[in-house]
């Protein structure tokens, strides 16, 4: 109760104004104290609210920064993945081309070895005719040309891709 109800108030005693003044001043002091307490709490809450608002703003800035970093990292990862795909394709193409070239060289060497003259010395009194030597060298060159004629379209396309643009310019002269 804010105002005390004493029996003297109702009884109409002589010191009624004194007691009324005391209770009014006491009540005003209590109201003033409560107001100051509420004002201090308000000020404290306002400072805390301002602090939370600044923290919120800082957190939003961090969120935006991390979001942007994540976005650019994602883009960079996609670029790197695309580069890896291209490099894998190039490696596979080079590997296939090198395998084909190796097989072609092995085939050509086996053809040359099959047509080559034996390296053992001839028995005494037996001479190799010069006509056969020239004929066999002609066969060697023909077999090399013939083996190139058996290339598949893939082999030819693979070898056409190896040509540089400056080689094509030399052929037109």
Residue 54, pLDDT above cutoff 90 = yes
Write out 109-128 in H/E/C secondary structure.
Answer: HHHHHHHCCCCCCCCCCCCC
Measured CA distances, 34 to 2, 40, 68, 90, 102 (Å) = 13, 10, 50, 82, 98
Confidence of residue 113 (pLDDT cuts 50, 70, 90): confident
Q: Report pLDDT digits (tens) over 10-45.
A: 554 555 555 556 688 888 999 999 999 999 999 999
Residue 1, pLDDT above cutoff 50 = no
Compute the distance between CA of residue 68 and CA of residue 105 in angstroms, rounded to an integer: 55
Quick one: pLDDT at residue 69? 96
Measured CA distances, 119 to 76, 113, 116, 122, 133 (Å) = 62, 11, 9, 9, 13
Q: Report pLDDT digits (tens) over 65-80.
A: 999 999 999 999 999 9
State the Cα torsion 109-115-116-119 to the nearest 10°.
120
- Provide mean pLDDT across the span 90-110: 95
Higher pLDDT among residues 167 and 27, named by residue: 27
Compute the distance between CA of residue 140 and CA of residue 112 in angstroms, rounded to an integer: 6
Quick one: pLDDT at residue 155? 52
Compute the distance between CA of residue 125 and CA of residue 146 in angstroms, rounded to an integer: 36
* Percent of all residues in the chain with a pLDDT value above 90, rounded to a whole number: 47
Residue 95, pLDDT above cutoff 60 = yes
Maximal CA-CA distance, the chain: 170
| Long-range contacts, stretch 66-69, CB < 8 angstroms, 24+ apart | none
Q: Report pLDDT digits (tens) over 117-150.
A: 555 555 566 555 544 444 444 444 444 444 444 4
Higher pLDDT among residues 84 and 1, named by residue: 84
Read off the tokens for 17.
Answer: 């104004």
């Amino acid at each position: 109760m804010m105002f005390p109800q004493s029996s003297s108030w109702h009884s109409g005693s002589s010191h009624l104004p004194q007691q009324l003044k005391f209770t009014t001043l006491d009540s005003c002091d209590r109201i003033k104290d409560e107001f100051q307490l509420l004002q201090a709490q308000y000020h404290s809450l306002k400072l805390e609210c301002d602090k939370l608002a600044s923290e919120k703003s800082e957190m939003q800035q961090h969120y935006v920064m991390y979001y942007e970093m994540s976005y650019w990292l994602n883009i960079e990862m996609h670029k790197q993945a695309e580069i890896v795909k291209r490099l894998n394709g190039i490696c596979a193409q080079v590997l296939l081309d090198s395998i084909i070239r190796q097989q072609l060289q092995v085939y050509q060497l086996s053809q040359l070895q099959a047509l080559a003259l034996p390296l053992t010395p001839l028995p005494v009194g037996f001479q190799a005719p010069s006509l056969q030597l020239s004929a066999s060298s002609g066969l060697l060159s023909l077999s090399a040309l013939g083996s190139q004629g058996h290339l598949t379209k893939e082999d030819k396309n693979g070898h056409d891709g190896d040509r540089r643009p400056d080689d094509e310019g030399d052929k037109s002269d």
